[in-house]
Structure 1
Amino acid sequence: MTTRPIIENESEDELYEHHRFEAGKGQAPLRVDKFLMNLIENITRNKIQKAADSGNIFVNDVPVKSNHKVKANDIVSMRLEHPPYEYLLEPENIPLNIVYEDDQLLVVNKTAGMVVHPGHGNYSGTLVNALAYHFESLPMNSSDRPGLVHRIDKDTSGLLVIAKTELAMTGLTKQFSEKTSEREYIALVWGNVKDDEGTIEGHIGRHPKDRMQNTVYPDGSEGKPAVTHYKVVERLGYVTLVSCRLETGRTHQIRVHMKYIGHTLFNDARYGGDLILKGTTFTKYKQFIDNCFKILPRQALHARTLGFEHPVTKEFLRFECPVPEDMTECIEKWRVYSKSHTAEEEED
């Protein structure tokens, strides 16, 4: 039996090979999850089963479930969406905006444009690369990502908590899992949101036709449960400023949920928010929108508030960071436009 840990980029599916084993000639039939448990250090059977459920365990290049029986001479591999860190994680001297730090954890304010961890097409310049430079060793999370308790999208700005010890990783991860942490985002969305506040519920999973997008499965047939609570902060005519509080933390949750109720995030290119979804056909209005897009060349989303119980002191900590300049400038332009537009309507 041999092992050959290589990197393999499956361009179509964007998967990277983390482990590869060849069953020996005398291998008796054995469940693939048990087979891998015997060979991969520091991995749980639950993690292997989850990988199989996600289509990440392969036998002879065919995805299999965890109960598949490995036989003599089979090639077994585990392929994940992120590259193996031992090959790609290079410490980089990238400044961190640290809001809070003690011996257990730190809270950082991530700038828009910074990827949180290495992945397909982003092998350097990430938050994890910066953490690797500034801190000698950080605990690994369940996805083998050092220090990360949660994450936010590349073009979303705002607060993240980083675990510096195993104790902090365990305690913080439990809070996020049990939904006792506090996470509030500020978003600018297309359209005039009808209700002053509300709750969006709907399973979120991979879009069946576009792997780069997620979508809502209202019948719960696919994906994972997701709950977002929103409240209108300010109505600005053809757009609305909202506050969103996460009860769960699915990938692209706010972006997907707001689109699901008809209010795609402003300038969210991945979900169609970089088109004029509401408003007039006047040339001046189009020029106004183009100017807004130039000021804010990303989705209008900022992780403003983060709260959690300190894993050691048990004190509840709450942090808030102001909305960044690109987003505030765009919002101010909408305030001016909305007021002048309303005044013109009243005169008419």
Structure 2
Amino acid sequence: MTNPSLEFRKNIDAIYAGKIPSKYTRLVPYVPGNTVFEVGAAEGVLSLLLARSKGRVIGIEKTKDRHDEAMRLRQAWKAQGYKVDNCHFFRGDVTKKLDLLENMDTFVAIRTMYYFGDNLNKIFTNVSKRCRHLVLGGNKNRALEYKKGNYKGNIGKDNYYASLDGMIEVAKTYGYAIIKTINEDTGQDPLVIARKPIQKASTLPDYRLKDSLTPYLKKFNLVKEENDILVHSYKEITLSIDEVLRKSWNVIKECHVALMEQYQQNGRSFDYTDTKYWQRLKLNNVDEKRMREKTEGFFDLFDIIKKQGFEMHKKNPVIVANLTGIVSNEFVDKKWRYHRCNGTHRLAIAKVLGIEKIPVLQLIISLYGNGHEHLVRPVF
């Protein structure tokens, strides 16, 4: 192998014999969850170690030589009787393999995150929607150099993400609570263990999109059930407000937008019980106290967006899926291209405020439906 990682190169014979250096074994107790996704798996040592006590492990490695070595090590350990059949290695860029995060409990990135560069947000947007646990390992040497202000190497200031502070910042930014840390000042590589609160299934983007989109696709006999919709990955994009509002625009215009236009003109000094918005709540059997709370909350939201602008909400983003290639071109042209499953109130406010473009979370989807073993090619 032309470019082995340092620890593997120093201990290759021992590792093949099943005698693993502490550099790897020290990490195993810190990795929670039954299913694990390791990016930057290198020669596969940690992934294979984890597989001994986990249900399933996926290891991603970009470098061909290291990936090939991982496959050889897997075979060698299998011959020695170790549990390895539940460990699966893939070679390639993690940004092209984000669909493999599906049903993964834990995301592991050891001495890897500082290579993500401009893809950091894309990767962690997807991780944060799929994985409850994070295990992030830095590089003590890079971290200490960063603290000194020495930005050497081809990744420069991204060495910040080799440090404890950098890894904590990323974990918190994407909604994780810090459970345990190890500082680079201890002489070890820094480590961050983080966890997300358990979310109700109904609040997860996949669930919300499938629940909203399935009835439409059933009409065209494209799916039989929600699980026929496959969500591959997530992508933060910017769309025109009019494009996002194509779905259900006539209803939104007469109901939500009309109410916000009155609020913009009159403040709270008008009878909102004489509006289509109020009537719609009444038709849905919402009790009067709750109706008033929802309406007043709508006004409060208008004031917030007017002051702060329309931002990507990390916990509750506007969720869309591009239907091009999923449904007919006629549907896309005459009805809507982007199926939206939430965000009506925020979008109505944006429209009234004259905001032309908004950030949304696009779910990249394909179909596996009607009992046929085929995939409809998603639009990326």
The structure with the greater share of residues assigned to helix is: 2
TM > 0.5 between the two?
no
Query: What TM-score results when the alignment is normalised by the length of structure 1?
Result: 0.29
What TM-score do the two structures reach when normalised by structure 2?
A: 0.28
Rg larger in 1 or in 2?
A: 2
